[in-house]
Structure 1
Amino acid sequence: MIDSSAIFNIKNQTEFEDLALQIFKHQFNNNRVYRSFCDLLYKHPSDVKTIQDIPFLPIQFFKSHKILSNKNDIETTFTSSGTTGNLTSKHHVTDLKIYEQSFTKGFQQFYGSVEDYVVLALLPSYLEREGSSLIYMANAMILHSKHTESGFYLNNISELKNTLIKLDADGKKVLLIGVSFALLDLVETYQFNLKNTIIMETGGMKGRRKELIREDLHKKLKADFGVETIHSEYGMTELLSQAYSNGNGLFNCPNWMRILTRDTEDALSIQPPEKTGGINVIDLANINSCSFVATQDLGRIYKNGAFEVIGRFDNSDIRGCNLMVL
């Protein structure tokens, strides 16, 4: 049995790779769905010598199968938003403490202690449904904040505007985390000139607006919030870790998370840095489900480990997922 505390004490790439290989063996032996997937690829632990050799489970399996690597009781199930009539992803979590450690330590690695921030969450599309991992994270951050002004906002954007302007003028460290369409709604109603506030978008219009490329979205938000940069969070229902961008469009992972890219025509082929491909995520915090996930995002990774997200596959573009009959 792998001690989960080792995940958050990784200090270098060698320790990361050693633990990733251990977790692969653990999940191969204990995750029925992942084992079947690996068997169909003829990938056994004896064949896996490096992290590039590890099979990445297509993210769609979280919609059709129960992805679990232990037999403990399920503490909660996070679900994706999805659109009407579509299957939603389900991430069964058997140890919420691991998720809490992951988002707390991940935020701390890039921004310092959440206790020092007033956390304002503008996440209406997530608040309006159950099972959001982002709402769980934001709620915990609000609770851990040592500022009474921290809280959620749904439709009361006038109150949010007043709070934001006052806190910023008082010199408080403020984190406003919001879904893209709601941030646009806010700045199209009110104008700001903020000096002490981090604006962090979580991506997505959730069907409320036309999708914008990140560059155009950030250009508008920077101008209307009066800030120099827009920060971003990269996470998803099927993961328990987040990567962050401090405004340059490049994301960085916490020490227990890595990004690889796969060839768009050959899903089993890992590409060298600086080539565009499908984003594969290694999230060691996912020790109790699957730590090796092939997403539907397109991106590019750089030699320093930073990565950018360029777009998404549409369903007709997905290659190498003909093993979905498991």
Structure 2
Amino acid sequence: MAPNIQSQGSMTPGTWGLLVTLSLLWGGAFFFVGVAVKSLPPLTIVALRLGLAASALWCVCLLRGVTLPRSPAIWRAFLVMGVFNNAIPFSLIVWGQSQIASGLASILNATTPLFTVVLAGIFLADERVTGLKLSGVFVGLVGTVVMIGPAVLTGREASALAQLAILGAALSYASAAVFGRRFRDLGVHPLMTATGQVTMSSLILVPLALLVDRPFTLDLPPAEVWLAILALALLSTALAYILYFRILSLAGATSVQLVTFLVPVTAILLGALVLGERLAPQHFAGMGLIALGLAVIDGRLPRHILALWRSRIVGKTF
């Protein structure tokens, strides 16, 4: 997830291809974390992910000649973005995935646009909440309740806290998206925004992981864990951010949010095929309701249905 950039265009076949690729990268992140958490503590995984991704993104910036910002205000904004867009959600998701399946984690993470609609309606004058968006939020939240189940309210479900942690990550992503609107006015290159926020979050998480997890005292993880960490950092973080900002420039923020329909499906398939994970029927029912809520929020499906209904009414009249 990343800050919004207001640029609205059409979704071409090429853009759809980028969107599907992005869903594979972000859906794969839940799979890679599922492999890594078996051998490494959460903060260490996040620190490695951010540190390696920051190094890769700086290499891309140097190759592309992206200008380094000089203003302290921009770097303070990078710090805020790094906390809310990387440090907090990455840590919550990794810890949550140590308790629940990667597919369920990806579904809960798909509530991010629902939180974004509410926060944007409160803090952004040009993104006020409409009746259609409120309906979508309601349907999506019902899907979340169906997916988690009533046990979360009584404390009988052992994984309830982990599921709430993933929802907390989604809320953090949404807060970052609203805050990130300011980078448009600051004139920061999108690639530098991604690089700056990952750099600042890595400066927080690397020392914290060394202090809390003391990874230098752990046994050396097997090769598959190192491969998962590299894939998580280079593919699901560095490359994913580059693709994300590319889609934003081509089709706009609304269109790129459609990736949330595809990420849970990707994570579920990877978790089931490779990790042997299984989801209960209510998880799929909740995912369906969340997808419906996102479709209502997006607005294009309701408008298409309304236009089709009106054309039929006109046809019957004449």
TM-score range, shorter chain: under 0.3
**TM value normalised by structure 1:** 0.23
Q: Which has the higher contact order (CA 8 A, sep 6+)?
A: 2
Question: Which structure has more helix as a fraction of its residues?
Answer: 2
**TM value normalised by structure 2:** 0.24
Question: Which structure has more strand as a fraction of its residues?
Answer: 1
